[in-house]
Structure 1
Amino acid sequence: MSEHPHGIARGLTDYGDRDFSIYLRRSFAQSMGYSREMLKRPVVGIAYTPSGFNNCHRHFPELLEAVKRGVLAAGGLPLEFPTVSLGEVFLSPTSLRYRNLMAMDTEEMIRAQPMDSVVLMGGCDKTVPAQLMGAVSADLPAIQLIGGPMMTGRHKGERLGACTDCRRFWAKYRAGDVDAEEIDVIEGRLATTAGTCAVMGTASTMACIAEALGMTLPGTAAIPAVHADRLRAAEATGAAAVRLIGSDLTPKRIVTAQSVENALRVLMALSGSTNAVIHLAAIAGRAGIPLDLDRLNAISDTTPVLVNLKPVGAHYMEDFHSAGGMGAVLRELRPLLHLDTLTVTGETLRERLDADQDGYVDHAIIAARESPLEPDGGLVALFGSLAPRGAILKRAAADARLFETEGRAVVFSSLADLAARIDDPALDVREDDILVLQNAGPHSASGMPEAGYLPIPRKLAAKGVKDMIRISDARMSGTAFGTIVLHVTPDAASGGPLALVQDGDPIRLSVAGRRIDLLVEADELARRRALLPPPPPAPERGYARLYAEQTLDADEGCDFRFLKPPAATGVAGAERDAAE
């Protein structure tokens, strides 16, 4: 006997006898009912992520059968394997803490098991970036299959979509405009089907970014989870995975500096989730590509907002799909894109767009580039004495009246402090103040939760205040809105300037100047720094210890230091520190 380099003979278990290894593997494979002829086929692995703790993926069993159908019809053998699954709202303290664990699981199972290509089945917020991170590092031919967004619900004749409308109605409830009985009814009508959030939140943003990078089949990012086209896309994805076998079209040929820039263009045109900056930095970092926040600003300043979806617009993902989806967005952005980038089909982006240039578009939902919703991109990076290595503002979801503001800081030292005092009637706060949350960044015990959407203090909400400047080292759900400065780097737990802010300190925000500054003298800041408490000891064991010891800052994607190519680690931060 001799080992065949493909299929189940790939990557043999080592018993010191290669022929015995394949003999034993075939024997055990046949115990599952496979014929010898079927076991001669090339193998498509399917990274399969359903979970009782992941509502977004509850339709994955049916989706899996469609993938398998496509693989079998194309001549491959589909073998699914489970990995970590991250259900956004079911994880404590936050799903970002476990994204890198899922990425490691995905990478190692691709490497360890005999497969010639792999389909990555993901959807919920952190699953798609985790799978792409793992796939880039493993660098086996791979293709992403998105689970798809929910359909909308209804309440009193109004369409509802998780989770922008969750936040909108919760704000009304806090302000006393909705009573307890109605908020309970609304709770059951916000998320009524399988799939990810129905708006341009993090999940849908990452789906669109995966397509912009070239890692999904064209036109598949926005198909609703319960649509028959989603099953057809799964079947086509399975067939495409077979076609990838034996090619050199691996993720590192697809995820390049040029395709990352295309993804940033798309992010700006979508006015997508701020979380995407962290995830794209992590995905690019696995390919040795640093994400330059100054370049992000240059792209934002030359990319219009085109997509009229909540949380910054009026429509939902099902509307985006029927309006033309990502194909329409890419056609509008064509003059701004790198067209020679590759996709998993083997075509270049130019070839894809040439083939569908007569595609349908509803310009009420996807605006023409010549008549955009906003002339500039949805996100900007801010720098300054409060954020030497950057912070992110989703300006398209913010109140432009607050863009050039100097205000007084009202500081919360932790999430617990925020919860305890934000609604205290005695809280000294005015609507022109700036709310500041410390110790919610990647190096904090909370692991950078989506807590940057600080609630408006109840006594101000009751007076009709809808927005205030809020600053933190935390993240914000892509479904949220407001004038919110996030990802302040270095974070407070690392001893960054954010840790030194005290009540009453003046802070200046200038979106035009791309600045966020703490207006306190250097001598006073040095005095405060000397009084900072020492950091708490690292956890004693397990993944928590690994996370504490290896997590990089937000500008480097919060990836683990040892998982990135050495050339990509610390580049962005070092360059920014040198400039400062």
Structure 2
Amino acid sequence: MTLRSQDWYGGDGRDPYIHRAWMRRGIPGDAFDGKRPQIAIANTAGDLVPCNLHLNEVAQYVKNGVYEAGGIPLEIPVMGLGETLVKPTAMLWRNLAAMQVEEMLRANPVDAVVLLGGCDKTIPALLMGAASVDIPAVVVPGGPMLNGHFRGELMGCGTGVWQLSEEVRAGTLSEAEFERSETAMIRSKGHCNTMGTASTMGIMAEALGMTIPGLAGTPAADARLLEAAHATGRLAVELVAEQRTVSKVITKESFHNAIVALAAIGGSTNAVVHLLAIAGRLGIDLTLDDFDRIGANVPLLVNLQPAGEYLMEDLFRAGGVLAVFDQVKDLFDPSAQTVMGVPLTDFLGEHPVWDRDVISLREDPLQDDAGIAVLRGNLATRGAIIKPAAATAELLVHRGKAVVFDSIEDFHARIDDPDLDVDADSVLVLRGCGPKGYPGMPEVANLPLPPKLLKQGVRDMVRVCDGRMSGTAYGTVVLHVAPEAAAGGTLALVRDGDIISLDVPNRRIEVELSDEELAARRPPFRETGSFAHAERGWQKLYVEHVQGADTGADLDFLVGSSGSVVTRESH
């Protein structure tokens, strides 16, 4: 087998000389002889990505494994996307990070790549980029932080913020106590310890076959993560020998398994937009309807916040991801492969559940039907989604008057007004938060409730938005509405007082207006004026080319594969 890297290092002449000479900085002399594969380690660690800080240590263990197996490890920094820090939203740069991964893997002499990610957008970006180049690849999820505790109770990062901040607004928790909880929430390295987007996407990587089975969900502080990182380095060398590229591992059947897993774990709604984008890079026809068709009747088995009680450390203790997969093995597609070269189902069947409060058995699930529900109607002609597992059951069928906000800034300016015309039956509508409108589709759909209703004891309302919500959030939230308001969706035409009907069992979301009335309406300037008007840089490129949430919010010119071949000489 001829290694891809030999296109740079092999042969005589000026170009191979330059490529080899500039890399001879302590690398073994036989590194360029065509027998030792060059293994990239795409590392998303950075001081401004606190959830991924420990990946520098993980990378060292991957390197050890690569060397042990005869390869040459080469670390490639990947732009960090710190979910809690970057403004306006980390999602704005997911596609840019994916582009960087794609371009750097294709442009450099590497034969395979180990993808190190944790925080929400990093694993999706890494998989999108690697899929586009289609060289051998494998993921090491960074893992969740240890459990937090506050006032003697479990405190999940993210979910605790939403819960406690609402208590402050309701007047039942002091600002001083709220501030004191900060030090209790984050107590170790790792990403969010709830079943948020970070944990979900690590598990999705495993369900897609892109990790060593059993690795996803290993706590960041657990020494077994480093052991698995070492083993992954060895595996990466094997992937080159077998030419087990991304497209040979991830198939349509792999997405079937990921959708089953997403429902069983009560995973983040953000997984929908990320899985659609990864599929788009591979040319796989995955649609919103697949999520409803495959996942609708899958039981919820994992009792984790935000839909349940426990945290990721408890899931690992109770048997881990493979114990969950065992319970729904019959729903998996047995043909879907893994980076190990055999189907995922080959690893299932012998993983007991050690704590049935955390992981329910199939015959006694937390919920019978836990998948993401895809809604359609005149308010979402291309679809919207809701996570029934995180919603209030009584609100899954609901009718109420719309209270409309034209932007998140408009919302913040008015939601605390005691004179706001809103009651418990109202439907809060937030628009201008889609991929084009904000830009970047921020996690704002789980709107805080009006204080005057919180003081009355109201803790959930129907909310409708063209943006996303954090995977750590909860509530009866209809999100990812497509087309978004900024792309001409009906959401742009809704007015205060319009009746919105939600019927999750029948998968409908409607504004009760005739086609004629909708056709006669125009969005007000106060709304269109709030849409993104980027004039330069990445934001301009993004707004002009980003697609809708219903297809993954990728850029139109990035859909599909670029391949690994470089057609122009460097010198």
Shared fold (TM-score greater than 0.5)? yes
Question: How far apart, CA to CA, are the structure 2 residues paired with 1:530 and 1:166?
Answer: 34
Structure 1 length-normalised TM: 0.93
Q: Could you tell me how far 1:26 is from its partner in structure 2?
A: 1.8
Q: Post-superposition shift, 1:49?
A: 1.4
Q: CA RMSD in A?
A: 1.8
Task: Return the match for 1:514 from 507, 513, 517.
Answer: 507
Distance 2:190 2:258 in 1: 23
What does residue 299 of structure 2 align with?
Answer: 304
Secondary structure of 1:88's counterpart equals coil
Verify: 1:364 aligned to 2:357, yes or no.
Answer: yes
Question: Would you say how many aligned residue pairs link Structure 1 and Structure 2?
Answer: 557
Query: 1:81 corresponds to which residue?
Result: 76
Query: Cα gap change, 1:29/1:417 in structure 2, threshold over 3 Å: closer, same or farther?
Result: same
Partner of 1:268: 263
Question: Is residue 43–residue 56 contact of structure 2 (8 Å, CA) maintained in 1?
Answer: no
Structure 1 counterpart of 2:430: 437
Counterpart residue number, 2:401: 408
Aligned equivalent of 1:328:
323
In the alignment, the residues of structure 2 paired with residue 473 and residue 403 of structure 1 have an alpha-carbon distance, to the nearest angstrom, of 18
Q: Which residue is 1:564 aligned to?
A: 559
What is the DSSP-based 3-state SS (H/G/I as helix, E as strand, rest coil) of the residue aligned with 2:471?
Answer: coil
- AA partner of residue 327 (structure 2): E
1:283-313 Cα offsets, whole Å, 9 max, x none, are 1111112322223212233211111111111
2:283 to 279, 288, 295: 288
**2:339 paired residue number:** 344
Asked if 1 retains the 8 angstrom alpha-carbon contact of 2:397 and 2:502, the reply is yes
Give the SS at the match of 1:195. Answer: coil
State the one-letter code of the partner of 2:185: L
Kept in 2: contact 1:411–1:435 (CA 8 A): yes
1:176 to 151, 171, 189: 171
1:6 aligns with 2:3: yes
Instruction: Give the corresponding residue for 2:248.
Output: 253
2:380 maps to 1:387: yes
Question: 1:210: which partner in 2?
Answer: 205
Structure 1 segment 39-54 matched on structure 2, within 5 A = 39-40=32-33, 41-54=36-49
Contact 1:169-1:183 at 8 Å conserved across structures: yes
Give the Cα–Cα distance (whole angstroms) in 2 for the partners of residues 19 and 217 of structure 1: 41
Deviation (angstroms), 1:463: 1.6
CA contact (8 A) 2:445 2:463 kept: yes
1:385 & 1:105 partners in 2: Cα distance? 38
**Counterpart selection for 1:450 from 443, 447, 450:** 443
- 2:196 is matched by which residue type in structure 1? G
1:541 and 1:164 map into 2 onto residues whose CA distance is 36
Going from structure 1 to structure 2, the CA distance change for 1:530 and 1:328 (only over 3 Å counts) comes to closer
Residue 314 (structure 2) aligns with? 319
Measured after TM superposition, the shift of residue 19 of structure 1 is 2.3
Q: Could you say what secondary structure the match of 2:64 adopts? A: helix
Measure how far apart 1:443 and its partner are: 1.2
**SS of 2:381's equivalent?**
strand
Question: Conserved in 2, the CA contact under 8 Å of 1:148 and 1:223?
Answer: yes
Counterpart amino acid of residue 58 in structure 2? L
Deviations along 1:311-355, whole A, 9 cap, x unmatched?
A: 1111100011111112111111111110111100111123222xx
Q: Secondary structure at the match of 1:439?
A: coil
Q: Is the 8 A contact 2:542 2:555 kept in 1?
A: yes
CA contact (8 A) 1:116 1:246 kept: no
Partner residue of 2:239?
A: 244
CA distance in structure 2 between the aligned counterparts of 1:302 and 1:397, rounded to whole angstroms: 16
The unaligned stretches of length 5 or more in structure 2 are: 562-571
Q: Is the 8 A contact 2:209 2:249 kept in 1?
A: yes
Q: Which runs of 5+ in 1 are unaligned?
A: 567-580
In the alignment, what sits opposite 1:501?
494
Match of 1:19 among 6, 13, 21: 13
Per the alignment, residue 71 of structure 1 pairs with 66
Equivalent-residue separation in structure 1 for 2:341 and 2:276 (angstroms) = 24
Give the structure 2 partner of residue 195 of structure 1: 190
Q: TM-score, normalised by structure 2?
A: 0.94
State the AA in 2 paired with 1:329. V
Secondary structure of 2:428's aligned partner: strand
